[in-house]
Amino acid sequence: MTVTDVNVDELVASFPDKVKKNRKRHIVKKNESAGSCPQIEANTRTVPGIITQRGCCYAGCKGVVVGPIKDMISITHGPIGCAYYSWGTRRNKARADDRTPPEQIYSTMCFSTDMQESDIVFGGEKKLAKMIDEVVEIFHPRAINVCSTCPIGLIGDDLGAVAKAAEEKHGIPVIPYNCEGYKGVSQSAGHHIANNQIMEHIIGTGTEELDGKYIVNLLGEYNIGGDGWVIEQLLEEIGYKVNSILTGDSAYVNIRNLHKVHLNLVQCHRSINYIAEMMETKYGTPWLKINFIGIEATIESLRDIAQCFGDEELIARTELVIERELAAVTPELERYRKICRGKTAFSFVGGSRSHHYQYLLRDLGMEVVVAGYEFAHRDDYEGREVIPTIKSDADTKNIPELHLEPDPEMYREPNLHLNMSKEKYDELVASGRLGYYKGMYPDMIDGGIMIDDANHYETEELIEIFKPDLIFTGIKDKYVSHKMGVPSKQMHSYDYSGPYTCFRGAVTFARDIANALSTPAWKMITPPWEQSETKRT
């Protein structure tokens, strides 16, 4: 069966009629002759009873966005059973910064209030206040995050009041996040809540002057396996100054000055686009969607950044760096391409990365035949032009919106941030370089499947239909494919490998993929579709 022969109806044929109608709206088949992307259902509740791979609102807030900030201690307010993301569950690498004295921490740390039955009955505010006192006394953090879990919202503990009292007592920011797991439909709600609080309580509070002709923030980069460091080094070689990576290897002291840069670079659109848009509204800071995963994607991103500043010397240095890096990695990549060429893959990776990794796999001669997200919105698939058509539902309205106005003292017109005329800036916007993300659909292959919130059953069916050579996914569904005889690469923490970004990271990725495809163990497993009915029973 070829990719274009696949019928979406086959995937949902065994579902009850009501479920079938729901799930069909979450699945789109790429049809190049049809032109634009058909509407896909996304950011809606999972059908009850389906084994989804989604996370909760708390996971998106604490686990993804605020957890990696190295000089803020995070407190999970809730029972210990809710506190999975109080662990160091992702490989958000961090390093000591020059301003960190020896007695202060520079590694991410999180604690839980360990709510017991009596605390649930009588309230946990006093317990939380006591924990904040202890954390300040022992660790002297620059600031504290307090993230709530489901029971806290149900019993009504006032995080805001406790945080405000602690802030007055200790003289450091204590920021509450009402990110109870049941809010929203997935971890995406937690991203939004975290973005709002960081924007309201941290960004814009810094008074430090930044030196540099071309200063940028790298937003939505979480430094898994050192990805952010590779990007930062490449940008600084060309002539940029990276004020902050948000939130991988980020520090509170740098986030305060986010508003003082010339340009925001957005890597993960879904988790951080709120801050990018709010900074544009309040401070006039323009933003550019970039992708440093894949050779061609990295080259395109570097050229786009240089064009945004329009400096001929910067553009020339960009081309020199590209030429040097290509010369260094091309021979090694070609060696791995011989193994990878012609193979197919699925990509179920968070953020924008299901889209991003299509570029890197294409560099290796592979095709992504099925891709999707667990917590995307329609614009992540269809492009930002559909945002005005997205209707708010009850779940979306659970998340407060910040209604910002241009700051009377710190706002500058976006073109002035880039030191260019209004006409030139408008040209960049019209070309799709600034303030735009085209979504996943345009880069899917003809006949490929785009699926939102894929469940366990659909994953198995897709594997049997497409018989991919490799699957990129998260920890929850990694072993589904293993049991079916298909190698899987866990991309939320890179299975302890990486970095995978930029030119040198592409070589590391290619090596890992070639190893996965070549491992003889997979030939010793008979996938279910090749077993006899008797054996399968």
Cis link prior to 247 (omega < 30° from 0)? yes
Residue 525: pLDDT over 80: no
pTM equals 0.93
- Give the integer Cα–Cα distance in Å for 391 and 414: 29
Q: What band does 536 get if pLDDT is binned at 50, 70 and 90?
A: very low
Residue 435: pLDDT over 60: yes
Superfamily of domain 57-181: Nitrogenase molybdenum iron protein domain (3.40.50.1980)
- Give the integer Cα–Cα distance in Å for 100 and 79: 32
The amino acid present at 150, given as its one-letter code, is C
What angle, rounded to 10 degrees, do the helices at 353-363 and 502-518 form?
A: 80
pLDDT tens track for 465-520: 899 999 998 877 888 888 888 999 988 888 889 999 999 999 999 999 999 999 88
Residue 534: pLDDT over 60: no
Residue boundaries of the structural domains of the chain: 57-181
59 catalytic per annotation: yes
Question: What residue has token string 């086959």?
Answer: 10
Q: Which of 42, 56, 143, 506 is catalytic?
A: 56
Residue 200: pLDDT over 70: yes
Read off the tokens for 198.
């960081």
Q: What band does 100 get if pLDDT is binned at 50, 70 and 90?
A: low
- Give the integer Cα–Cα distance in Å for 39 and 30: 12
Residue 443: pLDDT over 50: yes
90 catalytic per annotation: yes
Residue 173: pLDDT over 70: yes
Please check whether residue 242 is in contact with residue 218, taking contact to mean a CB–CB distance below 8 angstroms: yes
pLDDT averaged over every residue in the chain = 91
Q: Which of 42, 59, 83, 345 is catalytic?
A: 59
56 catalytic per annotation: yes
191 catalytic per annotation: yes
**Percent of the chain having pLDDT more than 70?**
96
Please provide the distance, in angstroms rounded to a whole number, between the alpha carbons at the two ends of the chain.
25
Q: What band does 537 get if pLDDT is binned at 50, 70 and 90?
A: very low
pLDDT tens track for 343-371: 999 999 887 889 999 999 999 999 999 99
Residues written for the chain: 537
Q: Which of 23, 77, 191, 356 is catalytic?
A: 191
Q: Which of 77, 90, 91, 377 is catalytic?
A: 90
